[in-house]
Structure 1
Amino acid sequence: MITSNPGADQMAIRSTPTAFQLQAALLAGRVLDTAGNSAESLLVSYDRLATGGLYRSQDLQAGHRLLERAGLVKTTPSNHIPTPELNEICQLPDDVAAELLLQELLLREPPLWLYAAVVDDEVRWENVPEADQNALAQLLADAARREAILLTLGRTLDAALLAERGSLGEEFVVQLCREHLQQRDRPDLAGTVRRVSLRSDQLGYDVTSPDTTGQRHRMEIKTTGKASTGRVEFFLSRNEATVAGRDPAWSLVAVSRDKDDNLDLIGWCPAVHLVAHLPRDISTQGRWTNVRLSIAITDFTPGLPLDNRSENGVR
């Protein structure tokens, strides 16, 4: 029976798999039938697999556990079933397959050093443990390729983190809008506040809410870290910028999130405060799609745009 080895598995989680371990995982994956295998049949296959003496049955079992950790093998009480992704990976040349397997594992179990190593589109190798650097060098001899993979992993993890933060920030603003209306004796309008991003992320805004007069406002929510520098930093897509420039009821609402996941409303700003900071296309052969903006916190009006915009005569 294929059993876990807690000590070895925990050590593997803390360090980047070596080229040897990744190759053992690929060999184990290629033994699997698409319909699945019992644990007993897998052990027999591992014992009989011809590897020229390079890999023992124990190595292949460890490789199998690595595939499970990467989410590429689904295990039931009676069966071990490869995912379609694993079947595709196993059909690739060894070097490409090992690289993809490494990426799958590091995305599913990102090591803590990865967050410190990839900062602002730069790899800070001094933050990568020596053992992990050696494992990466074994698999990828080209230094530029190693750096490109870490940058890709870092961006993917950042995108996932931004999505998580964004979701929390949007729900936070929805609740604030409802409370704002309820406190002003408009529970009827509070019930019409909607987080439209749950339906589509292509509308150019995330939350729609009326003010106390019933006028509808459309808000793009950006959740960021504490604005300790006096500036608010966030990413804005071209679509969001286009909608902002054409919709007078559009506004950007900024929310801060601290290390303990506490949320706080920074304020809001209209599109006019963003236009001057947007990039320009300098060629007909290229168009910008996303931009990272850094806006002074003084450009944000405290509170929500709702009644503030009406009181200020903004329509």
Structure 2
Amino acid sequence: MVTSSGRPVVHIGTDVSHELDGAVPRVLWSPEVNEALSQTGTAGERALLALLRGTGLASVTHVAAVSDAYGYDIAIALPSGEGMHLEVKSTTDPTRLVVHLTRHEYEVMASDPEWLMGAVLVGADMSALSVAEVSRQWLLSVVPQDQSMQASWESVRIHVPAHVLVPGLTARSGYRALPANVFPARSVWGIQAPAAAPA
């Protein structure tokens, strides 16, 4: 993993037992980086839960706190009777959006029409500075296909371009569970800043 400037965010180990000339050193996972990523993910989920509950929705449930088996993090029951199943991806980087999708999350997305991915920009105070929805159709189109019965991918890293991001969160019916203008106008992940909320 690298930062937006291309620097590694994990420790590079030099304790390999047999290094060859020109060989790339083994990458060791850093517990500090792992903890920071976990904290950012948890902060994004909690911040989004607070925002959604603040909109007056009757039922917003943090299912990821119960089990990862759901394949998404937050379940919402909308007034229309339809639901939203949100997979939350959180980052502190406003310049680009890179997400990791597990095979299980992908399979749930492919079979559950209420599944959608929400990206959360987490601030220094662990609040949500911006929220955008990632196009489901685009995600389905870029996920790799297994080439053999003997091998399958379990996790994929996806660089999300600005043109597949829509500020806010919208259900299939068009219901705006989280309008785009609840955040101050700013450019995040290359998407055009939404109009500011009326005074």
- TM-score, L = length of structure 1: 0.47
Q: Partners in 2 of 1:258 and 1:172 — Cα distance?
A: 10
Corresponding residue for 1:277?
Answer: 142
Deviations 1:94-134 (A, max 9, x none): xxxxxxxxxxxxxxxxxxxxxxxx827783x8xxxxxxx7x
- Aligned in 2, Cα 1:257/1:248: closer, same or farther, shift over 3 Å? same
Could you say which structure has the larger radius of gyration?
1
The answer to whether the 8 A contact 1:177-1:304 is kept is: no
Q: CA deviation at 1:279?
A: 1.0
Give the structure 1 partner of residue 163 of structure 2.
298
Q: How does 1:77-226 map to 2 (within 5 A)?
A: 119=8, 123=12, 142-143=18-19, 147-148=25-26, 151-154=27-30, 156-180=31-55, 182=56, 189=58, 192-226=59-93
Return the alpha-carbon distance in structure 1 between the equivalents of residues 64 and 149 of structure 2.
Answer: 31
Partner SS, residue 282 of structure 1: coil
- Tell me if the contact between 2:44 and 2:126 (Cα under 8 Å) persists in the aligned partners: no
Higher relative contact order (CA 8 A, sep 6+): 2
CA–CA separation in structure 1 for the residues paired with 2:107 and 2:143: 11
* Identity across the alignment (%): 25
| Separation (CA, whole Å) in 2 of partners of 1:196 and 1:178 | 14
Larger strand proportion of the pair: 2
Q: Is the 8 A contact 2:44 2:127 kept in 1?
A: no
* Structure 1 residues 191-242: Cα deviation after superposition (integer angstroms, max 9, x where no partner): x2110001111211000112232321100000013331xx421100011011
Question: C-alpha deviations, 1:53-83, integer Å up to 9, x for none?
Answer: xxxxxxxxxxxxxxxxxxxxxxxxxxxxxxx
Looking at secondary structure, tell me which structure has more helix per residue.
1
Q: In angstroms, what is the RMSD of aligned CA positions?
A: 3.0
Q: Contact conserved, 2:10 with 2:29, CA < 8 A, in 1?
A: no
Whole-Å Cα distance in 2 between the matches of residues 160 and 202 of structure 1?
22
TM-score (norm 2): 0.72
